[in-house]
Amino acid sequence: MTITDTSQFSAQLRSVTQEDHHAAESSDFITTLMGGERSARDYTLLISQYHYIYEALEEEVRALASHPALTDIFDLHLERGAQIIKDLEVLLPMHDLEEIPAALPATEDYVAALRAAAADPARLVAHHYLRYLGDLSGGLAIGKLVSRHYSIPDEALNMWKFDAIEKPKLYKDAYREKLDIFGANPSHAEAVLDEAKRGFQWNKAIFEDLLRATSRKVPAAS
């Protein structure tokens, strides 16, 4: 893939991944979950898969956080792992689950991809962008939706809270500027674009696995 304007690399990244991003977020599992047609248990299973994803991502990011080219991007304040554990400590007992459900096959594939990406830090940047910019962009809305639809208590919605980031919009703008600088290196740009597309595809596969593993819970008509 040829980079034509590295000064706006972040905009190109968004454009190139738009189709895969839309395919992932329009997956039946996610649209029905956000539409109130599933259950709090299904939401718990989703957060359980995120546990494995963020555990892998954050271990690899911490190992590379001091890399000169990555230190500005790999902000450890973005980490979600501890927040996910807090949420699961509330959610699992609510659904008679004694331990975190096992990683689904697609989740295992994604985790393996995250581990492999650490060998080429530019590819890990793609996953960092995909996960955390997505969380900062849609997290507040997701938290409100699942709270309303499934009576998820506030103490189980830590995944979507970024207390260390006072102004998410300004933070995201600054993050994209850092991506523009990082993407000025053509080899970095190529790797990020390629891996980000794959990242959305792995996420879509996880949603498809979750769809197969759960049954839709349509609320009774009032």
6 near 189, Cβ under 8 Å?
yes
Residues 6+ apart with CB under 8 A from 189: 3, 6, 9, 183
Any binding-site annotation on 148? Answer: no
189: its two tokens: 């740009």
Task: Look up tokens 């994803």; give the residue.
Answer: 53
Residue 208, token pair as written in the block: 């498809």
Query: Is 176 annotated among the ligand-binding residues?
Result: yes
Are the CB atoms for 13 and 179 separated by under 8 Å?
Answer: yes
Nearest to 175, CA basis, from 80, 72, 79: 72
Enter the DSSP assignment of 100.
Answer: P
Q: Is 21 annotated as a binding residue?
A: yes
Answer whether 35's CB lies under 8 Å from 201's CB: no
Binding-site residue ranges = 14, 21, 129, 176
Binding-site residue ranges for heme b = 14, 21, 129, 176
